[in-house]
């Protein structure tokens, strides 16, 4: 278990599509806010929504565990059936060979009998050898064939026939044993299939019970976000009022750039004994007041004026803002940021994380992923950012994947700053949103512990006060101290020793994907080491904050902990959108498209554009059979078609970003299908590779909303 960790869990965060709220553009000398404080129950609302999400994650983890067992049993049954059939075929062939050798021996024995040649075989053996050819005795007697070496040939043939009979009996016994094993494996798979179907029904019922609660909690969480926005604004206004009361006029940025050459009356602002460039301080009534530049104050004021404005892909106002758009507008006209987050980093001086001040540009990402998000810093570990997951410009917590803090008023970097190269998957983590789905290749992962060496422990998402996040951020595998721990797939190692984990191995697999192995009693790898799937990296222990010997295993995407079980079960996972679980998006957060079908609103808008273009081309309405699929309906489909349907909780239908189409599109190489392949990507709709002809699962009708060409 992971006790006492201090970081956010965006999977269970209050990510909702907020209503548009227009905060005024406050002047540099605003008056204090007179708005009412948020209700005391607002923290209970937070806990309520997170609890619902944690319960959904725990249900999905439990179902994934059952599916893993069923999938393994099904594979074992298939393997056992193949082995049984092979053994039975070999047994039949061997029986035929043995019968032929016995027939040959019978011929020799009959000839010897007719010719009066002594035999070395006893009466019982003679009868055994003659049985297959008894009907041919007269024919043999009539031949009167002279066999000069019949005695020795008879002995040799007897040995050959006996060996063939023995081999035939062995293979028959082997086939019988393998058939019994195949029948047992098939029975086990059938039993587990029934368990999975029952769990699917139970999970669907559990999720259905949550639907109404989610709608209520979603509405309340919007109030919480509004309250958080207002609280941050109030703190900022209080600071500005403090400057006004102290009769401090914010100086120009150029004046504060060098802390060793500040004007009279201003002193350096220090953090951990170091002077902070670009900021100063003054002593007022025995206390220190921070002094920021006029340009910085203007930027923060402008950032607050955008709070509540809707998020939009690649938008830059005045009504919608992409993730870079809000930061760009905040810092204009002092400076104009480049058009990509990765291009911002080389242009502005980075400052240590310990010296972050309001107005700083915070860029999020990693070396293997690239830079994917940007926000304007506030105090209290918060920032203002256009957040795709929350659908708005909001005040939010600075995420764990903070890569660097930049201070525009310090100008260009003293030393070159090279941004990490964006991976092909970086767009999936853009603007505060975790990827809707992530494929690591079916069968590409090994398990962190060997079969039979562990028991499944505390699941991902379980709520409890013992965790500082309020939820368990990994999957526990209970095993004795010293049990070998293996890397699940290829990656580069980092060894860490945080208090909660004791000994921790973190493996970066690239493209924003990491796995963590905690509480190890021993670490067998070193920093920077490249490891292969199944390679031993350490041993199970109980180091750090642990309740007993176990491996605490985590999967991170773009810095966020996500449910490991679907990854281990399928090699892929669907892990989040807007703070809701797969198949558990309230109807109020979806948009209709046609005939009762619904999609996530951005996908719905793109679908309508696609449908209009299709109708202009073919003169008919775009034919659709399936769209958003609730968890309950996913479970029902899986019960009926477990070998074809996606594991419930992993389907992109459950995120409202997938459709199944008809009217000719449901067949490869038709005119309609070819038109879709050529034109659908323009509107952000893609045919996934696994569904292509010759792919893992051929589904010409299945299309998913990806990223528009303008993103």
Mean pLDDT of 650-658: 83
Write the CATH number of the domain with boundaries 587-705: 3.30.1380.10
Instruction: For 513-669, list the strands marked E by DSSP.
Output: 513-518, 522-523, 530-531, 536-539, 550-557, 560-562, 572-574, 590-594, 597-600, 624-626, 658-661
Report the topology of domain 294-420: endopeptidase fold (from Nostoc punctiforme) (3.90.1720)
Mean pLDDT of 549-572: 80
Distance in angstroms (rounded) separating the CA atoms of residues 149 and 501: 83
Domain residue spans of the chain = 49-120+140-242, 294-420, 455-570, 587-705
Mean pLDDT of 489-518: 92
Query: What's the pLDDT tens digit per position in 135-146?
Result: 454 444 443 343
With contact defined as beta carbons under 8 Å apart, do 511 and 369 qualify?
Answer: yes
> Taking Cα atoms as reference points, which of 91, 107, 70 lies closest to residue 185?
70
Percent of the chain with pLDDT strictly greater than 90:
39
Mean pLDDT of 40-44: 35
pLDDT value, residue 118: 57
pLDDT value, residue 19: 25
> Average pLDDT over the chain, rounded to whole?
80
Residue 663 pLDDT more than 80? yes
φ/ψ of residue 402, rounded to 5: -60, 125
Q: Which CATH architecture has domain 49-120+140-242?
A: Orthogonal Bundle (1.10)
Higher pLDDT, 269 or 643: 269
Least confident window among 144-158, 209-223, 295-309, 583-597 = 144-158
pLDDT value, residue 310: 87
Residue 14 pLDDT more than 70? no
> What is the per-residue burial (b if ≥16 Cβ within 10 Å, else e) of 524-555?
bbeeebebeeebebbbbbebbbbeebbbbbbb
Query: What's the pLDDT tens digit per position in 361-371?
Result: 999 988 888 89
Confidence category of residue 17, pLDDT binned at 50, 70, 90:
very low
pLDDT value, residue 56: 65
Work out the angle between the directed axes of helices 42-115 and 123-130 (0-180°, nearest 10): 110
Residue bearing tokens 């607002």: 42
Least confident window among 26-35, 243-252, 299-308 = 26-35
pLDDT value, residue 552: 96
Most confident of 27-31, 486-490, 588-592: 486-490
pLDDT value, residue 281: 93
Residue 87 pLDDT more than 90? no
pLDDT value, residue 468: 67
pLDDT value, residue 129: 56
Confidence category of residue 8, pLDDT binned at 50, 70, 90:
very low
Q: With a threshold of 0.75, does the pTM exceed it?
A: no
Report the topology of domain 455-570: Glucose Permease (Domain IIA) (2.70.70)
Higher pLDDT, 47 or 233: 233
Query: What's the pLDDT tens digit per position in 603-617?
Result: 888 899 999 999 999
Distance in angstroms (rounded) separating the CA atoms of residues 45 and 223: 9
Confidence category of residue 557, pLDDT binned at 50, 70, 90:
confident
CB atoms within 10 A of CB 354: 10
């Amino acid at each position: 278990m992971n006790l006492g960790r201090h970081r956010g869990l965006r999977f269970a965060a209050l990510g909702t599509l907020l209503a548009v709220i227009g905060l005024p553009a406050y002047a540099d000398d605003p008056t204090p806010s007179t708005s009412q404080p948020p209700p005391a129950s607002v923290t209970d609302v937070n806990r309520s929504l997170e609890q619902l999400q944690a319960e959904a994650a725990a249900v999905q983890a439990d179902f994934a565990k059952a599916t893993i067992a069923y999938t393994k049993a099904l594979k074992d049954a298939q393997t056992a059936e193949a082995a049984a059939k092979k053994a039975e075929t070999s047994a039949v062939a061997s029986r035929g060979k043995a019968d032929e050798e016995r027939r040959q021996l019978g011929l020799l024995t009959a000839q010897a009998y007719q010719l009066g040649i002594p035999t070395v075989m006893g009466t019982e053996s003679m009868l055994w050898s003659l049985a297959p050819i008894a009907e041919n005795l007269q024919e043999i007697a009539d031949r009167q064939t002279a066999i000069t070496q019949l005695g020795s040939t008879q002995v040799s043939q007897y040995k050959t026939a006996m060996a063939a009979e023995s081999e035939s009996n062995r293979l028959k016994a082997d086939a019988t044993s393998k058939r019994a094993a195949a029948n047992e494996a098939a029975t086990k798979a059938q039993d587990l299939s029934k368990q999975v179907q029952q769990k699917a029904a139970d999970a669907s019922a559990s999720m259905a019970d949550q639907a109404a609660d989610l709608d209520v909690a979603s509405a309340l969480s919007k109030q919480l976000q509004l309250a958080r926005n207002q609280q941050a604004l109030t703190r900022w206004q209080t600071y500005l009022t403090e400057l006004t009361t102290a009769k401090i006029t914010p100086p120009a940025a150029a004046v504060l750039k060098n802390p060793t050459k500040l004007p009279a009356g201003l002193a350096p602002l220090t953090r951990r004994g170091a002077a902070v460039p670009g900021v100063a301080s003054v002593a007022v009534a025995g206390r220190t007041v921070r002094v920021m530049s006029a340009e910085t104050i203007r930027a923060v004021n402008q950032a607050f004026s955008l709070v509540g404005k809707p998020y939009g892909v690649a938008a830059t106002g005045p009504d919608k803002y992409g993730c870079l758009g809000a930061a760009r507008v905040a810092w204009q006209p002092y400076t104009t940021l480049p058009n990509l987050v990765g291009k911002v980093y080389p242009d502005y001086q980075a400052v240590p994380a310990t010296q972050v001040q309001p107005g700083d540009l915070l860029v999020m990402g990693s070396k293997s992923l690239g830079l994917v998000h940007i926000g304007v810093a506030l105090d209290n570990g918060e920032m203002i950012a256009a957040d795709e997951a929350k659908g708005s410009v909001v005040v939010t917590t600075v995420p764990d994947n903070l890569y660097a803090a930049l201070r525009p008023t310090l100008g260009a970097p003293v030393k070159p700053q090279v941004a990490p190269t964006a991976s092909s998957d970086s767009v999936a983590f853009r603007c505060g949103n975790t990827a809707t789905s992530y494929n690591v290749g079916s069968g590409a992962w090994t398990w962190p512990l060997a079969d039979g060496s562990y028991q499944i422990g505390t699941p991902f998402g379980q709520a409890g006060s013992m965790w500082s996040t309020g939820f368990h951020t990994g999957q526990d595998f209970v095993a004795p101290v010293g049990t070998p721990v293996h890397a699940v797939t290829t990656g580069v190692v980092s060894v860490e020793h945080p208090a909660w984990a004791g000994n921790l191995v973190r493996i970066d697999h690239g493209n924003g994907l990491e796995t963590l192995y905690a509480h190890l009693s021993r670490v067998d790898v070193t920093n920077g080491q490249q490891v292969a799937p199944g390679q031993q990296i350490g041993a199970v222990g109980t180091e750090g904050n642990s309740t007993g010997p176990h491996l605490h295993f985590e999967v991170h995407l773009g810095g966020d902990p996500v449910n490991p079980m679907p990854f281990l079960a399928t090699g892929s996972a669907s892990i989040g959108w807007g703070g809701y679980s797969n198949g558990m998006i309230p109807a109020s957060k979806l948009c209709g498209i046609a005939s009762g079908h619904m999609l996530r609103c951005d996908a719905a808008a793109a679908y309508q554009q696609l449908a209009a273009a299709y109708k202009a081309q073919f003169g008919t309405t775009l034919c659709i059979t399936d769209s958003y699929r609730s968890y309950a309906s996913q479970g029902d489909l899986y019960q009926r078609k477990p070998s074809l349907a996606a594991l419930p909780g992993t389907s992109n239908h459950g995120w409202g970003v997938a459709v199944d189409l008809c009217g000719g599109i449901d067949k490869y190489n038709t005119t309609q299908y070819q038109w879709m392949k050529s034109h659908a990507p323009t509107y952000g709709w893609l045919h996934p590779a696994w569904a292509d002809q010759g792919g893992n699962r051929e589904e010409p009708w299945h299309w998913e909303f990806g990223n528009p060409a303008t993103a």
